[in-house]
A = this chain, B = another copy of it.
Amino acid sequence: MRQIKLKERPDGMPSAKTFQYENVDVPSRNRDEVLLKTLYLSVDPYMRGRMSTGPSYAAPFKVGEPLNGGIVAQVMESETEELKEGDIVTGALPWQEYIVADPNQLRRPEVHGAPVSSALGVLGMPGLTAYFGMYHIGEPKEGETVVVSAAAGAVGSIAGQLAKKRGARVVGIVGSQSKGDYIVNKLGFDEAVNYKEENVSEALKTKCPDGIDVYFENVGGEISDAVWPLLNTFARVPLCGAIAAYNLSAGESDIGLRVQMPFIKSRVKMQGFIVGDFSEHFREAYEVLSPLVKNGELHFEETIHEGFDKVPDAFLGLFSGENVGKQLVKVVEPEQ
């Protein structure tokens, strides 16, 4: 049988040199293991990250060992109670034509009449990713505008449809006319933007006249830079992927991608805010801060310029870092 090993770590875009096909014997199994035949093998963008070293949420693949990922397989031999010959199973498994696995590594695909391959797509990792990103983070509301990048992809195509089911207006960003036609005519997106043909910034302004409330981020880079200024107040950005960054080589610039990659790796939550958003909690804040100030537990410094003629100097000093603590102008002493 054949297996596929990681031959060398790609620097930049992977190529045929990344992969090594090898002919090996079908592995032997213990009595508590099953022999599987691979039916469907999933390839996913996140795997690119595992081909490099460095911190990520998944351990790097090892050079000279088989790659692995989502697979749907059929049981060929089993003496276990859990599985019998002919059963269809799925799991994270090595890229081989035949696989020996522990039944605990496997589950039965829950596809409810859909093709078993959907256990690797809409009813598997990509579908769940779309679901949680859109419904648990994006949370689109009726009448809001949702933009999805990589909108014809495994995740984006589901994410956009889920947003439609919440009554949102959905605009997809894609890389070809045929993908644009697909998401509008088949999936029911309201609009498509073809980033290879259109000025994304101008197209989004036209197609999102009320701004953007949810941006489901799959790509990063210049496409996302066109989105940021159009986000509405209290917009949400589920950061799912940044495919524009995955194939940058070590020396290449990551301008515009400085946030996405580490934020996905570490599942960071970033939230812009101004103090007025919390006006209902002002009382609570004063009740915490005031005793701390009174007891001397919270220190504060005031850099005070004296006299009304010092206002511009005080203001300009903010940007040269001259102040410690609060920069103020004392115009006059209170009268007694």
Contact = CB atoms under 8 A, between A and B. Distances in A.
A41 B311 contact: yes
4 closest residue pairs by CB, A with B: A121-B326, A263-B272, A122-B300, A154-B326
A120 B21 contact: no
A47 interface: yes
Interface stretch (A27-35, A140-148, A237-245): A237-245
5 contacts: A57-B233, A118-B293, A131-B285, A255-B255, A264-B274
Given A38-B331, A236-B269, A311-B43, A122 B293 contact: yes
A272 to B, nearest CB: 4
A15 B273 contact: no
Interface residues of A, number: 145
Interface string A249-284: 000000110111011111111111111111001100
Contact of A268 (B127, B176, B272): B272
A209 interface: no
Nearest to A129: B275
Nearest to A39: B334
Given A41-B308, A57-B274, 12 more contacts: A19-B312, A42-B327, A43-B317, A45-B319, A116-B334, A122-B326, A127-B300, A129-B275, A132-B281, A136-B278, A178-B324, A256-B258
A288 interface: yes
B267 A271 contact: yes
Contacts of A48: 318-319
Nearest to A211: B266
A270 B239 contact: yes
A77 interface: no
A118 B300 contact: yes
A157 B300 contact: yes
A111 B117 CA distance: 66
A112 to B, nearest CB: 5
A299 B157 contact: yes
A278 B112 contact: no
Contact of A329 (B43, B292, B298): B43
A316 interface: yes
A227 to B, nearest CB: 9
B231 A262 contact: yes
A167 interface: no
A308 B38 contact: yes
